[in-house]
Amino acid sequence: MCGIVGYIGKRQAYPILIKGLKRLEYRGYDSAGIALITEQSGLQVYKTKGKVADLEKHAEGKDISGTIGIAHTRWATHGEPTSTNAHPHVSSTGRLAIIHNGIIENYAVLKDQLKEKGIEFHSDTDTEVLVQLIDYIRTKKELDLLTSVRIALHQVIGAYAMAIIDKDNPDQIIAARQSSPLVVGIGDGEFFLGSDASPIIEYTNKVVYLDDQDIAVIDRNKENVEFVNIHNETIEHEIKKINLNLSQIEKGGYPHFMLKEIFEQPESLKDCMRGRVNVDLNNVVLSAVIDYRKELINARRFIIVACGTSWHAGLIGKQLLENFCQIPVEVEYASEFRYSNPVINNQDVVIAISQSGETADTLAAVELAKKKGAFIFGICNAIGSSIPRATQTGCYIHVGPEIGVASTKAFTGQVTVLTMLSLAIAKARGTIDIREYEELVKGLNDIPEKQKELLNSCNEKIHEISKIFTYARNFLYLGRGYNYPVALEGALKLKEISYIHAEGYPAAEMKHGPIALIDEEMPVVIIATKNALYDKLMSNIQEIKARKGRVIALVSEDDEKVKALADEYIELPKTLECLEPLLATIPLQLLAYYIAICKGKNVDQPRNLAKSVTVE
2 given a catalytic annotation = yes
Of 103 and 131, nearer to ligand G6P (C-beta) is 103
Of 408 and 556, nearer to ligand G6P (C-beta) is 408
The interface with ligand G6P within residues 252-311 (CB under 6 A) comprises 307-310
Amino acid at 40: Q
CA 538 to chain centre: 36
Closest separation between CB of residue 552 and ligand G6P, Å?
Answer: 23
Q: Specify burial of residue 105 (Cβ count, 10 A radius: 0-12, 13-18, 19+).
A: middle
Residue among 2, 325, 380, 395 flagged as catalytic: 2
380 given a catalytic annotation = no
Q: Which stretch binds ligand G6P (CB under 6 A): 213-221, 277-285, 565-573, 606-614?
A: 606-614
Measuring CA to CA, which residue among 571, 549, 551 is closest to residue 560?
571
Measuring CA to CA, which residue among 441, 490, 439, 442 is closest to residue 469?
490
Helix (H, G, I), strand (E, B) or coil at 63: coil
Residue among 47, 260, 601, 611 flagged as catalytic: 611
Closest separation between CB of residue 496 and ligand G6P, Å?
Answer: 7
Of 141 and 607, nearer to ligand G6P (C-beta) is 607
Give the whole-angstrom CA distance, residue 149 versus residue 163.
10
What order do you get walking across the sheet with 329-333 strand by strand?
329-333, 301-306, 348-354, 375-380, 393-396
CA 151 to chain centre: 32
Closest separation between CB of residue 116 and ligand G6P, Å?
Answer: 39
- Told to check if 544 binds ligand G6P by CB under 6 A, we report no
Of 123 and 589, nearer to ligand G6P (C-beta) is 589
CA-atom Rg of the chain in angstroms: 26
Closest separation between CB of residue 258 and ligand G6P, Å?
Answer: 11
Closest separation between CB of residue 320 and ligand G6P, Å?
Answer: 18
Q: Which of 605, 611, 614, 615 lies at the binding interface for ligand G6P (CB under 6 A)? A: 611
The interface with ligand G6P within residues 157-216 (CB under 6 A) comprises none
Amino acid at 482: Y
Closest separation between CB of residue 313 and ligand G6P, Å?
Answer: 9
Contact 199, 242 (CB under 8 A): no
Q: What is the DSSP string of 468-512?
A: HGGG-SEEEEEE-GGGHHHHHHHHHHHHHHH--EEEEEEGGGGGG
Of 165 and 351, nearer to ligand G6P (C-beta) is 351
One character per residue 390-429, x = contact with ligand G6P (rule: CB under 6 A)? ---------------x-x----------------------
Of 75 and 594, nearer to ligand G6P (C-beta) is 75
Secondary element (H or E) of residue 52? helix 52-59
Helix (H, G, I), strand (E, B) or coil at 329: strand
Amino acid at 141: K
Q: Which residue of this chain has its Cβ atom nearest to ligand G6P in the complex?
A: 308
The interface with ligand G6P within residues 343-362 (CB under 6 A) comprises 354-356, 359, 362
User: Any idea which residues carry the catalytic annotation?
Assistant: 2, 611
Residues contributing to the site for ligand G6P (CB under 6 A): 307-310, 354-356, 359, 362, 405, 407, 609, 611-613
